[in-house]
Amino acid sequence: MSTSDRPARRPLFLVLEGIDGSGKTTQQQLLADWLRDQGESVTCCRDPGDTPLGQQLREILLHSAGDLHPMSEALLFLAARAELIRQVIRPARERGDWVVCDRFLLSTVVYQGHAAAERIDPNWLWSVGREAAFGLMPDLILLLDLPLEVAIQRSRRQDRFEARGREFQERVRRGFLIEADRQPERIRIVDAEGGPDEVQRRIRDEVERVLERHPRA
């Protein structure tokens, strides 16, 4: 079917989430390619990042900060996200672009909520995080899930969070699964084991599923 035969589709705001080494970056690229091949305009972004403040906070949070309380981390992630929305995501949505974002609020809920040693209440993080995101929530969150061993083998670098060790990463994985269980429609668990194309097919199935339910702009 050519692009012009296809019914107009509502551009979605999609987020990829998962433990470090789950393959988000590769999958983001493949997903954007697939959408662009169908004639859609796509904006890819990553959280934190893609704005001057976001880049600086990313550097501080991932590489240079010493010991930070999860509350400080959460508030910095929220600030980076507010600018990402204001400067990148909202303008993209207004242009009619699809948005494919590498991480979003769910990461704060999981890393600073479920997984942190002095954990912040996940419900509080949802509520403040939503306010700090100007109420903008993704249409679909694709949670790339896989066993820790596989993720560790895939992952090449270490940042502050990745250096926190196995137990922390296990709590991250569990936190993601708990949240997916609480919001089964919005957060879809995608089996991230297997080759990139295989995982991408599962992601596309989930996107198609949402489009079938809300096909029109």
Residues that bind ligand TYD (CB under 6 A): 20, 25, 46-48, 62, 77, 102-103, 107-108, 111-112, 159, 161-162
At its nearest, how many Å lie between ligand TYD and the CB of residue 135?
Answer: 17
Residue found by looking up tokens 């990745």 in the block:
162
Q: Report the residue number, 65 or 211, with the smaller CB distance to ligand TYD.
A: 65
- Strand order across the 42-46 sheet: 42-46, 98-102, 13-18, 140-145, 187-191
Q: Report the residue number, 38 or 117, with the smaller CB distance to ligand TYD.
A: 117
At its nearest, how many Å lie between ligand TYD and the CB of residue 37?
Answer: 24
CA max distance for the chain: 56
Question: Which two structure tokens, joined as six digits, stand for 175?
Answer: 């936190």
Q: Report the residue number, 62 or 136, with the smaller CB distance to ligand TYD.
A: 62
Q: Report the residue number, 9 or 86, with the smaller CB distance to ligand TYD.
A: 86
Q: Report the residue number, 103 or 188, with the smaller CB distance to ligand TYD.
A: 103
At its nearest, how many Å lie between ligand TYD and the CB of residue 156?
Answer: 9
Q: Are 141 and 104 in contact (CB under 8 A)?
A: yes
At its nearest, how many Å lie between ligand TYD and the CB of residue 34?
Answer: 20
Q: How far apart are CA 207 and CA 202, in angstroms?
A: 9
Q: Are 122 and 177 in contact (CB under 8 A)?
A: no
Q: Are 22 and 192 in contact (CB under 8 A)?
A: yes
At its nearest, how many Å lie between ligand TYD and the CB of residue 36?
Answer: 21
Q: Are 120 and 113 in contact (CB under 8 A)?
A: yes
Element (H, E) at 98: strand 98-102
Q: How far apart are CA 192 and CA 136, in angstroms?
A: 27
